[in-house]
Amino acid sequence: MKILVTGGCGFIGSNFIQYLLTDKEIGEEVMILNIDKMTYAGKGRNIEHMNLSQNKNYEFIEGDITNMELVNYIIAKNKPDIIFNFAAESHVDRSIENSNAFEQSNFLGACNIFKAALNNKIKKIIQISTDEVYGSINQGNFSEESFLNPSSPYSSSKAAAEIMALSYFKTHNLPVIITRSANNYGPYQFPEKILPLFITNLIEGKKVPLMWSEENPGLNVRDWLNVKDNCRAIWFISKNGENGNIYNIPGENEKTNYEITKIILRYLGFGEEMIEKVPHRKAHDFRYSILGHKLKKLGFTYIHKNLEEEIEKVIEWYKNNPDWWRPLKI
C-alpha cells in the first residue's frame, strides 16, 4: 500500500509513521512518502531514531502543502492509495499571537490536498482534526453531530478545513474521512505543550507556568489521549470508517490541568512551590469532552488507558532524552 503522510516530522505524524513501519497490527507492507515543511516543531529529529535513510519503504520530501503546484506534482507522480493529512500549525498561543501560518497551513494547505486528491482520483483521504473545533462544554460531552464552536484561530482554521473537506465529499464525492482527537501526549512532543514543558522545566529545576485565576485556579479540563492509541485509531478508521464521516477519538481520561501538574510534581519529587501562577490565555476553553461511540461501534479498543502510569513513562522518556529536547528550548 502506498501512503502519503503530510507533516510526518511533527509529533503525531512521526509517531504515526513509526507505528506503520514497526507495529505488527498493520498486517501488510506499506510504502510511505512523507512531505513536511520542517518548521520549528518538526526539524527532522522526531524520526531520526528510526534510521529511515536506508529503509526502502520510506521516502522524505521537504515541502510545503501551501504550494499547490508541488502538492499536485507529488500526488500525481506517486499516486498514493491513501493520504493522511497531519500537516498543521497546532499551538493555540502562537495562533493568538499571529494566525497567518495557521490560516495558510491548516486551511489553504488542506484545500490543496483535497484539490490534488480530486484531480488524481485518490482512493481515500484522512483529514486529521481536533476536539477543539467543538469549543468548550461545562457539562456533558460533544458527539460528531454537535455544532462547531471554535474559540481560537487554531481551532477555527481546523474547523474551516473540515467544512471544506465535507463540501468536497458532498459536491465531488471526494473519499474523505475526518478524525477529531483529544489532547495527545507522548514522546517527541515539542516542549511548548503542557506535559513536555512542565516535565522539562522541572528537570531543569525551573517552575511550571500553570494558568491560574481566583475564579479558575488551574481547573481547565482536558481529555488525555496517548499518541500511540491515536495513531492506532486513525489507521483503524482508515480501514473501517465510511467516507464522508467524522469520527471522534477521545482519550477517556479527563483531568484538570492542576491534577496533571500534581502528577508530574509528585513523580519528580517536587511540591507545589514549583508552580508559577500565570494569567489564562485569551478565550481559554474551560473543558473539552468528546464521545467515541462511533469509533467503538467500529470495534476499536484502547491499549494505553492508565493515564498516570503512561505519564510516568513519558516523564522517563524526557529524563532519558535530554539531547532531543534541550536544543528545542533555547
Which residues are marked as active site? 131-132, 154
Q: What CA–CA distance (Å, rounded) separates 284 from 23?
A: 37
CB contact at 8 A, 164 and 125: no
User: Which cell is 290 given?
Assistant: 468528546
| Rounded (5°) CA angle 324-326-329 | 120
Q: Comparing C-alpha atoms, which of 98, 285, 227, 248 is closest to residue 162?
A: 248
User: Which cell is 205 given?
Assistant: 529545576
User: Which cell is 182 given?
Assistant: 483529544
The one-letter amino acid at 252: E
CA separation (Å) from 197 to 174, 194, 323?
A: 39, 5, 15
Q: Are strands 208-211 and 31-36 parallel, antiparallel or unpaired?
A: unpaired
H or E segment and range at residue 177 = strand 176-181
DSSP-derived 3-state class of residue 28? coil
| Rounded (5°) CA angle 147-133-99 | 135
H or E segment and range at residue 129 = strand 125-130
Q: What CA–CA distance (Å, rounded) separates 168 from 178?
A: 12
The one-letter amino acid at 34: N
Q: What CA–CA distance (Å, rounded) separates 280 from 257?
A: 12
Q: Comparing C-alpha atoms, which of 249, 43, 20 is closest to residue 132?
A: 249
